[in-house]
Amino acid sequence: MKSNPISDSELLDWLRDPRRTEAGIARLYTGYADEMARLVQAAGGSYADGQDTFQDAVLAFVYSVQEGRYRGEAGIRTFLSTLTRHRWYNELRRRGHAEVRDARFEGERPVLDEGSAALLEHKQATGALQALLAGTGEGCRALLTGFYYESRSMKELAKTQGLGSEQAARNKKVRCLKKLTELLETTPHLAEQLKNLLYAAS
């Protein structure tokens, strides 16, 4: 059964309300996950790449909304598309294929606020972020640190963590990002440290 459509403003209210954040995130997935995954496919990735990229974009978007950095100048679909493209571009660079970005992709990629687009990649936020990552458990900490800070592939992380397959590592990454999102909501002192670091660097 399909969910009843809601407006951007109502969805933003849900994301700002701790009691409805999870429902708001579910709406983001229902409304945009497939579209954004196909966007990454069109830019040279796989559908699984698109799913991973959208997961990261959602985390950055929710954080941006909750910290008041997203002001609604662009609609949610437009902003998520921008975040997804930006993060996929960074992933191509991580893989050593910066030459893959074509003129079409580059022409559609506007300049983003780094605090919104790079929550997990900002090097100056290491201290506060590592404290948050520690709260997700050793397995999640190692996986997220390996992926975001050490630029290790899902295939390599699956092997080093004994997860059996690349897909198993992807699934664990989803669970770990959910834990991290929950920690951002329940540990305001650490979230505040991270926010201040990101603000100072932007």
More confident residue, 8 or 100: 8
In this predicted model, what pLDDT tens digit does every residue of 70-87 receive, in sequence order? 777 778 888 888 888 888
pLDDT band at residue 161, thresholds of 50, 70 and 90? confident
Domain ranges of the chain: 1-119, 120-202
Distance (Å, whole) CA 29 – CA 131:
28
Distance (Å, whole) CA 80 – CA 58:
7
What average pLDDT score do residues 23-44 get? 90
pLDDT band at residue 38, thresholds of 50, 70 and 90? very high
Among the listed ranges 20-34, 95-109, 129-143, 160-174, which one has the minimum average pLDDT value? 95-109
Distance (Å, whole) CA 144 – CA 151:
10
What average pLDDT score do residues 81-101 get? 72
198 has pLDDT over 50:
no
pLDDT the model gives residue 65: 85
